Amino acid sequence: LPFSVVQMVHFAYRHLSYDRAPLLSLVGDYVRVVASRHPFWNRSAGADHFMLSCHDWGPDASKGDPELYANGIRALCNANTSEGFRPGKDVSIPEINLYDGDTPRQLLGPSPGLSARPYLAFFAGGRHGHVRDLLLRHWKGRDPATFPVYEYDLPSTTGGNNSSSRNRRGRDRQSDYFAYMHRSRFCLCPSGHEVASPRVVEAIHAGCVPVLVSDGYALPFADVLRWESFSVSVPVADIPRLKEVLEGIPTAEVERLRDGVRLVKRHFTLRQPPERLDMFHMILHSVWLRRLNFRLDH
Q: What is the mean pLDDT of residues 232-256?
A: 98
Cα 93 to Cα 59: distance, rounded to the nearest angstrom:
13
What are the pLDDT digits (tens) for 128-177?
999 999 999 999 999 999 999 999 888 876 555 555 545 555 567 788 99
pLDDT band at 103 (very low <50, low <70, confident <90, very high): confident
pLDDT of residue 288: 95
Per-residue DSSP letter, 21: H
Domain residue ranges of the chain, discontinuous segments joined by +:
5-94+276-293, 105-268
Q: Which fold has domain 105-268?
A: Rossmann fold (3.40.50)
Task: Report which residue type is found at 209.
Answer: V
pTM: 0.91
Query: 14 phi and psi, to 5 degrees?
Result: -90, 120
Cβ(47)–Cβ(287) below 8 Å: no
Q: What is the mean pLDDT of residues 275-286?
A: 96
pLDDT band at 244 (very low <50, low <70, confident <90, very high): very high
Among 21, 22, 26, 20, CA closest to 3 = 26
What are the pLDDT digits (tens) for 24-43?
999 999 999 999 999 899 99
Cα 94 to Cα 243: distance, rounded to the nearest angstrom:
26
Please give the mean pLDDT across all residues of the chain.
92
Number of Cβ within 10 Å of residue 262's Cβ equals 12
Cα 278 to Cα 265: distance, rounded to the nearest angstrom:
9
Among 34, 206, 2, 6, CA closest to 105 = 206
pLDDT of residue 258: 98
